[in-house]
Amino acid sequence: MLIKKVGLIANVAKEKSPACTIALYDWLVARGLDVHLEEGIAAKIGAARGVEVGILGSLVDLLVVFGGDGTILRTARLIRDRDVPIVGINLGVFGYLTEVNLGEMFNALDLILAGNFQIEKRMMLDVDINGGEETFHGGTVLNDAVINRGNLSRIVELETTVDERYLTTFKADGLIIATPTGSTAYSLAAGGPIVFPELNSIIINPICPHTLTNRPILLPESAVIKVTIWTAEQGATVTLDGQASFTVKSGDTMTVKKSLHVTTLVSSPHRNYMEILRQKLGWGGFPTGAAGKRRDAYGTEHP
């Protein structure tokens, strides 16, 4: 893949984002690339003009996103109609989806511009909400759709069907429906499994279920999930990727299915998925390496 045009997006709330954007802009222009700025960061650094994110996705061969996972999720949602690769530069504390660390930015982009990179097509979900006589498209998510009782004092009942077949009625604080990408987000904190991105599947994970045997379940990517909310109180909340929220009332339904859209992420040239699990999630223990040496969580051998 030949990259000639690059778009830059940044979380303007991050202190480092203006300086990092200017540095990378100059570096890319010096290499003869055509560089476009998203309107928010363009205004922040005093550039002449910027482009709305959805339009920016149609103008470039690669998007570089400065920020954390929230910035990646927002970008993925806004450019879902455009199959453009995204590389995330981590300006946050954690940054699981922003795989490239700031100190390795130029080296990583040298490799990417030379064509030495791999991409991952990440599954997304479409979410529709039915509120009585009205059905509307809530949105498309990369991580998850979450029903939460919010400020309600009682648990909610979540009547759940899969492909129009009754699964169960969860009595819980809420329900997470997640992609493999979202398996390492809220779902993981709620006791769900880690699912490799290549395994296109859908996770249903109850939040603090009243019945302890209601464990997370993995469904095929073809599954169509419908959840009806039942509560004696006034409303609950549906949240999409932790960013867009909708208030729902008793009797409303949420339908979730695999989207036709995908998010294309550029994998870090410096580490693979299993290294990221160890380094950023602290996953795993301290297994023994070669010749009896002990490996720490990062894979480094110790005597």
Q: Is 241 noted as a catalytic residue in this protein?
A: no
Nearest by Cα to 86 from 67, 64, 106: 64
Nearest by Cα to 67 from 123, 125, 18: 18
Nearest by Cα to 223 from 80, 153, 97, 125: 125
Residue among 26, 34, 69, 83 flagged as catalytic: 69
CA angle 172, 175, 180 (to 5 degrees): 145
CA angle 295, 298, 300 (to 5 degrees): 45
For the chain, first and last CA: distance in Å?
44
Residues catalogued as catalytic = 69
